Structure formats: structure tokens, C-alpha cells
Homo-oligomer: A and B are copies of this chain.
Amino acid sequence: MYRLHCFCQSGNSYKVAFLLRALGQAYENVFVDFMHGMTRDDGWRARTNEMGEAPVLEDGARRLTQTGVILTHLARKHGAYGGKTLEEEQEILRWLFFDNHKFTSYFATYRFMKAFGPAAPDPAVMAWLKGRIDGAYGIVDRRLAASPFIVGTAPTIADFSLCGYLFYPVEESGYEVQSRFPGITAWLERVQKISGWALPYDILPGERIAPKWT
């Protein structure tokens, strides 16, 4: 059985949990107490992930990290959501990289700093991050105005990847998607119809925390 090291505030953990559910694979949650510094501990890094990040997926004796690698591994292994040709695989990987760099990363950081950071965030940093988010979301919104899913007419791991932070309550980030990005909004409705879909706080371990700075 898979073991998923994860926590409920982590949209990257959610991407993997959602995919495992969609694939009908049983897995066990291993709670990572990120909010109390577990991933900053040298021992945890040495044992679990030198990059200091969750999620981590245990697949038998193997331990996989980086969400993009885990999604690719599961899609290949179970023969679903990974594309049917090399060209499709590469197109999916292209969006995983874009997500990792520009779509998930700036938004996840913005939300974390706004909702859960140790101190109220610097307005200049938040304004800068918001500009980056706007740019990335605009690119994906245009894509989704022309295509039902990120790559083609059926869901792939590119969709699992890009949707990861978009099912959290808007109160956490204060970043409004619905009124500004109709392509993304309509696509999120389609994503919710994928078998196994659920809200992050309903399937991931750890205590829900009220936003601090909003």
C-alpha cells in the first residue's frame, strides 16, 4: 500500500491524494507537521526529503519526492491520466513545469504568507507576488477558454497538478478567481466531476487553522 507523507494545508499533497483516489488506489496518510517545523528539522530532511518538502510518496521500498515526479510515476504505473503518446506526455510535462514554477508556486506562497505565516506579510512582497499570479493565471485561463482540460479533451495529471490550490477557501488567500478567470472557473467544475474528487480539508490529515492575517 502507498504511504503519503502529507498535511492538509498543502495543495501539493492534495494533488497526489486526489490522483490516488481517482486511480482507485488505497493509501495511508503519514502526517507531516509542517506547521510546527517538522520539515525544517535536519533529521527529518536526512530521513525523508533533503529538499525539506511535502508530499513524499512511499511506494514499497522507494521514496519519491517532488509532486511532478510522483504524479508522473503514478500515471505511468497505473496507465491512466498520463497521455497516450510521447507527444502528449511531453505536453503534460510542459504544463507540470509551468505549474511548478509559475502557477502553483507563487499562489501557494502568497496564500501561505497571507493565511499562516509567522508574521503579517510585507505588502510590497505580496503586491509583487500578486502580479506574478495574475500573469500565470491569465495564461492558463486563455488555455482553458479553448480546451476543456489542460491537455486535450480528457483529464490528465496536468489538471490534477494545476487545480491543487484552487479548492481551498478563498478566505485563506483573499485572491479572487471566480470573478476574474472564467476559463479556470468553468474548468474547476469539470475537474470536480473526476471520480474520487473531494475537498482538501476532507481528505488530508492535520488540524485546520483559521487564517491569521486576512
Inter-chain CA distance A212–B85, complex, in Å, is 46
Determine whether A93 belongs to the interface, using a CB cutoff of 8 Å to chain B.
Answer: yes
Partner of A122, one of B66, B72, B124: B124
**C-beta contact mask, A92-124 vs B, less than 8 Å → 1, else 0?**
011011101100010000000000000000101
Of the four ranges (under 10, 10 to 19, 20 to 34, 35 or more), the interface on chain A belongs to 20 to 34
Majority DSSP secondary structure for residues of A touching B: helix
Partner of A93, one of B62, B69, B94, B105: B69
24 contacts between A and B (CB under 8 A): A50-B139, A50-B142, A50-B143, A51-B98, A52-B135, A52-B139, A62-B87, A64-B94, A65-B94, A66-B93, A67-B97, A68-B93, A69-B97, A72-B90, A73-B90, A97-B97, A97-B100, A100-B100, A101-B101, A101-B105, A122-B124, A124-B125, A125-B125, A125-B128
